Amino acid sequence: MRSMLMLLGLCVLVLSPFPVALSERCHPEDKKVLLRFKKELNNPYFLASWDPKEDCCDWYCVKCDDRNNRIYEVFLISSYPDPNVTGKIPPSVGDLPYLEYLTFHKLPNLVGPIPPTITKLTKLKSLEITNSGLTGPIPEFLAQIKTLEVISLSFNSLSGSIPSSLSQLPNLASLQLDRNKLTGPIPASFGSFKKPGPDLKLSHNQLSGPLPPSLGNLDPDNIDLSRNKLVGDASFLFGSKKKTQVLDLSRNAFSFDLSPVTFPKKSLIWLDINHNKIYGNLPVALTKVENLQQLNVSYNPGLKGQIPQGGELHRFDKYAFFHTKLCGSPLPPCTK
């Protein structure tokens, strides 16, 4: 009987497509997909640990769930730009049904669009493809992955408009599309995100037009719309009852009266509105913001009057108020 069992075990090893240790945790289907994934990236040295003779749960750049031994995370992260990972994002990534986290970082020769097979990842929570060579538009089909909580596509060469369908993602907590070549307006549908709404990091693009007033319905921690071509009113992003921590509207063409604006007293730590067409007086309400660490209202020639004194405003030097018609400390005294 014992000899028959030994013979059966030998047959299993011979018939297996990959030599495996008897204690291997890795699911064979996941291993097969990952090896195909590696091949589609032209077998980079970066993935040298992906050896078919080894347990894929022990490979670099992947993580297995201890409960079911399925791959739930793939992270190709380089500490410096690695040119040896070449090609497009492998379509086979869609064949990892338990994947929750997918990250590519500092891979400049990872090019092309995001593959539609990614929509098969019905458990995906985080999609981060940053500092790489992505091109083409942000695909509408991302809205089909209802589990997404984080979309980070920063530092690529994505073009076209931001899909309005992204507002259909019920769990989205962070949308980072900064430093691309995106054009067009911020979608009006973004005001319908489930409150408080995702952090919006859309800076360093070529977005244009006015903001949809519906954005005022949201209350995310961070809004960064800097270095675009946005115009018109943005006063509805402010409010004493909001929980905003960072609000950066700098280097656009926003134009609104700052005088009646109120601010979150406890949460706001960063306010930058430099290089716009904002006018009026600096609100006294700024002196009530308890934890303000960064303030820049410079290069708004329509701002005028006395700089309010008190609170945290004493922390900021003249460069925070430069090229305005404001007066009083730290600028020269007001004249009658």
| 173 half-sphere exposure, CB direction, 13 A CA radius | 5
Q: How far apart are CA 3 and CA 231, in angstroms?
A: 81
Does the pTM surpass 0.85? The reply is yes
Contact yes or no for 223/199 (Cβ under 8 A): yes
**pLDDT tens-digit map of 78-98:** 999 999 999 999 999 999 999
CA distance 26 to 74: 14
* Closest C-alpha among 229, 90, 246 to residue 237: 246
Q: 310, 334, 314: which is closest to 324 by C-alpha?
A: 334
Average pLDDT, rounded, for the chain = 93
CB atoms within 10 A of CB 313: 19
Report H helices in the chain.
2-15, 28-40
**Does the structure show a pLDDT above 70 at 181?**
yes
**pLDDT category of residue 336 using cuts at 50, 70 and 90:** confident
Fold classified for 26-135: 3.80.10
The full set of domain ranges for the chain reads: 26-135
